[in-house]
Amino acid sequence: MTRLLPALLPILFLTGCVANYSSMMRPVRSDLSRGRPDEALSELAHTFPDSTGKDRLLYLMELGNLCRLSGNQARAQSALMSADRLSDLQRGIDLGEEVGALLTSDLAREFRGADYEKVFINYCLAASFAAAGNLEDALVEARRFNEKLKVWNLDYSHRNRYGDDAFIRYIMGVLYEADGDLDDALISYRLSAEVYDSVYTSEYGIQVPGELSADILRLCHSLGFQSLFDEYRSRWPETDWESSITPEGMGEVVLILETGNISPRREHIHVFSSEDRVHSIALPSIPVFPRRHVTASIQSGRSSAEAFLVEDLNGIARKNLEDHASRDIAAAITRLIVKAGIAEAGESIVREATDNEDLAEGVGFLLSLVGAATERADLRAWLTLPAQIHMARIILPAGGQTVDVYVNGRLACSTVVEVRVGGIELLFLREGF
């Protein structure tokens, strides 16, 4: 048996090269990168021939987001609300799944999603409702985000770096302000700034956007919170907050620009042998790449505003995986020990039953080979999310205004926006690369 190991190791390596979720989603993501969400939606039907199994939550998230991006907001909302309900029901431990995961790999478990993915279900729902002109239901989804945070904060086992989302706090503030609720808008803006300061600056390299500091100062002044205004004014003395005040007869357009595709996970397989046994450990990773530089602006007539980075989902996904690395390694080692024990037990049973040493060793070897071949890293993740999100705010005269969005020097979108006096209009755009 030992002589066969060098020939079998390459075969084992090739088992890790068969289709995984990252590779299966490549055609979908390719269409999305080319700005063809309708084709990506059709491709998804081939990627998910069975949408009712243990990956149903993932299917609903991908489906809902692609419907949102293709403009089918009713179908998007239906899929995403189903995803949100299903995610809420996924609690506790399924013993059958745990046994399956010990005997094969983490792919035996039902997909439940990472914390940031659960939160972005509500962001995508809010964006879909807002794009359809339904501000009331968009605000309901914003409040759902708050509810999820409360649950996390009560769970003392929740120790991930991603415990809040500065961008979603910011967009919540925009939604509240669009609804005329300036008090809640200010609360959301302040919470957003706190998260940028306490987490995003150190973990993701994103500081408090100057526009956000201007929004906080503007609302403090409008609401008459002088002491709070003075506190923030001393913190941001260079911020030009007065230019963010909307003059009489004008309104505002807020651009939410999603760019690129979030990085997929990769599988690292370590295959090794010992005596007449073959073992393997497979772990997921997200490669570290420099953040793609994106320049974007929104223009209308002689007015223009530069877009600013508010979210780095690549960074969030990578840090989330790092936070779970010790758990993944421990599970892989436990699985390795269990599979080795099964191989030993199989060999012992055959030896006792047949008194044939060669047959017993062969059975033990084959069981170890099966155990190594079934070892796979869990690469499932919401892969139609963007890599980054940028925002821009521009004040325009009331009435129908032609708005152009430029991304990296190229016209990405030109549309007419009906600007209301004192109102806030939201414009969502996805730009692939």
Sheet with 250-259, strands from edge to edge, namely 308-312, 388-397, 250-259, 424-431
Categorise residue 209: left if φ over 0, alpha if ψ from -120 to 50, beta otherwise.
Answer: beta
| pLDDT at residue 1 greater than cutoff 70 | no
Classified as helix, coil or strand, 181 is coil
CA distance 338 to 399: 68
What pLDDT does residue 302 have? 94
| pLDDT at residue 7 greater than cutoff 80 | no
**CA-CA-CA-CA torsion sign (259, 86, 380, 14):** negative
- Average pLDDT of span 239-251: 95
Q: Categorize the per-residue pLDDT at 155 as very low, low, confident or very high, splitting at 50, 70 and 90.
A: low
Q: Indicate the helix (H) or strand (E) that contains 279.
A: strand 277-285
Q: Where are the beta strands (DSSP E) in 238-276?
A: 250-259, 266-274
Distances in whole angstroms, Cα of residue 69 to Cα of each of 73, 168, 258, 349 = 8, 18, 10, 57
- Average pLDDT of span 169-178: 97
What pLDDT does residue 13 have? 46
Q: Categorize the per-residue pLDDT at 431 as very low, low, confident or very high, splitting at 50, 70 and 90.
A: very high
Q: Categorize the per-residue pLDDT at 14 as very low, low, confident or very high, splitting at 50, 70 and 90.
A: very low
- Average pLDDT of span 364-369: 91
Lowest mean pLDDT segment, chosen from 18-27, 181-190, 229-238? 18-27
Buried b (16+ CB within 10 A) or exposed e, 8-18: bbeebeebbee
Distances in whole angstroms, Cα of residue 144 to Cα of each of 88, 102, 118, 123, 180 = 11, 35, 11, 10, 19
Residues 86, 134, 251, 172: what is their CA dihedral angle, to the nearest 10 degrees?
A: -20
Q: Categorize the per-residue pLDDT at 94 as very low, low, confident or very high, splitting at 50, 70 and 90.
A: confident
| pLDDT at residue 11 greater than cutoff 60 | no
What domains, with CATH codes, occur in the chain?
2-208+246-431 (1.25.40.10)
| pLDDT at residue 413 greater than cutoff 70 | yes
Q: Categorize the per-residue pLDDT at 16 as very low, low, confident or very high, splitting at 50, 70 and 90.
A: very low
Contact 211, 196 (CB under 8 A): no
What pLDDT does residue 10 have? 52
159: Cβ–Cβ under 8 A, 6 or more apart, which residues?
Answer: 323
CA distance 358 to 245: 84
**Cβ-based burial of 303 (10 A; exposed 0-12, middle 13-18, buried ≥19):** middle
Q: Categorize the per-residue pLDDT at 15 as very low, low, confident or very high, splitting at 50, 70 and 90.
A: very low
Q: How many CB atoms lie within 10 A of CB 227?
A: 7
Helix 135-154, helix 115-131: angle, nearest 10:
170
- Average pLDDT of span 223-250: 96
Task: Report the share of the chain in percent with pLDDT over 90.
Answer: 78
Q: Categorize the per-residue pLDDT at 95 as very low, low, confident or very high, splitting at 50, 70 and 90.
A: confident
Buried b (16+ CB within 10 A) or exposed e, 249-282: ebbbbbbbbbbbbbbbbebebebebeebbbbbbb
**Tokens 């007869």, located at residue:** 249
Q: How many CB atoms lie within 10 A of CB 81?
A: 17
- Average pLDDT of span 170-182: 97
CA distance 242 to 117: 36
Residue among 137, 113, 129 at smallest CA distance from 60: 113
pLDDT in tens, 99-137: 998 899 999 999 999 999 999 999 999 999 999 999 999
Contact 419, 397 (CB under 8 A): yes
Summary mean pLDDT of the chain: 91
Task: Give the residue, 86 or 3, on which the prediction is more confident.
Answer: 86
Residues 30, 32, 37, 43: what is their CA dihedral angle, to the nearest 10 degrees?
A: 30
What pLDDT does residue 159 have? 61
What pLDDT does residue 17 have? 46
Q: Indicate the helix (H) or strand (E) that contains 68.
A: helix 56-70
CA distance 64 to 83: 8
Alpha helices (runs of H) in 223-356, residue ranges in sequence order: 226-235, 313-323, 325-354
Q: Categorize the per-residue pLDDT at 53 as very low, low, confident or very high, splitting at 50, 70 and 90.
A: confident
What pLDDT does residue 146 have? 84
